[in-house]
Amino acid sequence: MNKETIWKLYRLKLLFWLFAAVAMGAALYYGIDKKIIVFVTIVFGVFTQFFTGLGALIALIPLIGPLIIKIVTVPGFFLLNAFGTIISGIAIKKGYTDKLAKGRVVTLGLMIGIIIGYIIGNLAPLK
């Protein structure tokens, strides 16, 4: 990929990141509460795929890019699993075993679907 192709692909994302950085800096300068800034950044990040694009650009760095992404994302999965286990334990103690079992079945179906999709995606690439 040459510079022009990268610029065409990531122009809007790069401009949005620049705008977001300026907006966060201005918000900090004017004394807006940091919790509000973090909340607004996360909400915009979720709905605009702000962090996904940033992760994709970091992953493009040869050799160390994918390693950086793995170091950042793997602990997130461990945290989600830990929260799920804690909440399951609380739900069992409170007597919600029926709903918990149904939720686990749905989760298992979702995980199996993701695995099947991953396998099919690797067997029949879109290129």
pLDDT in tens, 90-125: 888 888 888 888 888 888 888 888 889 888 887 877
Residue 108: helix, strand or coil by DSSP? helix
Beta-carbon contacts of 97 under 8 Å, excluding residues fewer than 6 positions away, are 91
The radius of gyration of the chain's CA atoms, rounded to the nearest angstrom, is: 20
In order, the DSSP letters of 18-85 are HHHHHHHHHHHHTT--HHHHHHHHHHHHHHHTHHHHHHHHHHTSTTHHHHHHHHHHHHHHHHHHHHHH
- Kindly report whether the global pTM for this prediction surpasses the value 0.75: no
Both tokens of 102, joined, read 């149904």
**10: pLDDT strictly greater than 80:** no
